[in-house]
Amino acid sequence: MTFAVIKTGGKQYKVAANDVLKIEKLDAEAGTIVTFDQVLMVGDTIGAPLVEGALVAAELLETRKQKTVIILKKNRRHNYRRRNGHRQLLSTVRITEILTGGAKPTIKAAGVATKTDAVTEAKPAKAKAETKTAAPKAKAEPKAEAATEAKAAAPKKAAKPAADFTDDIKLIGGVGPALEKKLNAAGVTSLTQIAAWKKADIAKFDEDLDLRGRAERDEWVAQAKDLVAGKPPRAKVDQEAVADKAEDKTK
């Protein structure tokens, strides 16, 4: 049986008709005929370095990644460890002809469908089935759920401030004249402004004014909301509680 030695991808392969082998990736589509013109040997004829007029034709069956190869690197006593994986792309070909004397390929590709082709053809059918089953669910949504979502999305109205509250930010426990100056310089002059703060506002003023977490720790927002609602300052409430405890002890 006639055989040949070809060179492709920097490697040499001994091939014969109908041989199936894996080689380095080829830039061609599956089902096409590819040719190898670097023929080093045909039967007893040895090239110098190539055999003149020799050609090997093959059908490209598929190109896919191979199994993962794990690469481990380690250096002792240097705390150096590396673990990588690699999947090499290889093309599977079937040798169809070994030609000499400048002849051209005569056998056409068989056009056998590969496993990858069968998988890609089956995917669109599943996608259509999923879309058909998902359509009735979208139509069956009750109107009550849409109404509740609309109510949740509507902005909440802010509580109206009490008519007799004193708008003084120093009423917040822990805010003295020095902090009042800092807040006024940053544009904060009212209890209603502090009552409307959110987490992002607290973080911003804490960083800009170097509050060191005081606003969140002392619950400035909660205190401001109570003061706007007409409740007494927290410091005054604490003082009254201390006075009541002292009276109980004297009794």
Tokens of 74: 């380690």
> Whole-prediction pTM value?
0.43
> Per-residue confidence at 127, pLDDT binned at 50, 70, 90?
very low
Contact 29, 96 (CB under 8 A): no
What letter would DSSP give residue 104?
Answer: -
pLDDT digits (tens, 9 = 90+) for 170-204: 888 878 888 888 888 888 888 888 888 888 888 88
Q: Could you write out the DSSP letters of every residue in 155-192? A: PPPPPPPPTT----GGGSTT--HHHHHHHHHTT---HH
Amino acid type, 144: A
Q: How far apart are CA 134 and CA 131, in angstroms?
A: 5
Question: In this structure, how many other beta carbons lie within 10 angstroms of the beta carbon of residue 63?
Answer: 20
Coil, strand or helix at 190: coil
Tokens of 202: 């607290």
Relative to beta strand 3-8, strand 39-42 is antiparallel
pLDDT digits (tens, 9 = 90+) for 20-33: 999 999 999 999 99
Tokens of 146: 């849409």
